[in-house]
Amino acid sequence: MANTPQARKRIRRNDRRAEINGARISRIRSFVKKVEAAIAGGDKPAAQAALKDAQPELARGIARGVLHRNTAARKMSRLTKRVAAL
């Protein structure tokens, strides 16, 4: 267990950051799922609109440090390719 004041503070801070980052990742996943649902339904205009909404969320995830930039780029590329194929 942490014995020093700075170690205790680090644990408190890590818990807060984990909660915030978890919420951010969950929000990003929700936007991606909307795109995937529209693709599964075969609705190209809805898929394009959902993709347009998901792109800034992925970019925000990169900026906030919850996603690696290559991971976000890969997700974006694959979603864009699937929407274009509709």
pLDDT of 25-62, one tens digit each?
Answer: 999 999 999 999 999 999 999 999 999 999 999 999 99
- Round to whole Å and give the CA distance between 61 and 25: 7
Q: How confident is the model at residue 75 (pLDDT cuts 50, 70, 90)?
A: very high
**Is residue 2 pLDDT above 80, yes or no?**
no
Q: Is the pLDDT of residue 3 over 90?
A: no
| Cβ contacts of 50 within 8 Å, gap of 6 or more | 31, 34, 35, 37, 38
For residue 1, the model assigns a pLDDT of 72
Apex 72 CA angle, 54 and 81, nearest 5: 70
Contact at 8 Å (CB) between 55 and 35?
A: no
Domain boundaries, the chain: 5-84
Select the CATH number that applies to the domain covering 5-84 from these four: 1.10.10.10, 1.20.58.110, 3.40.50.2300, 3.40.605.10.
1.20.58.110
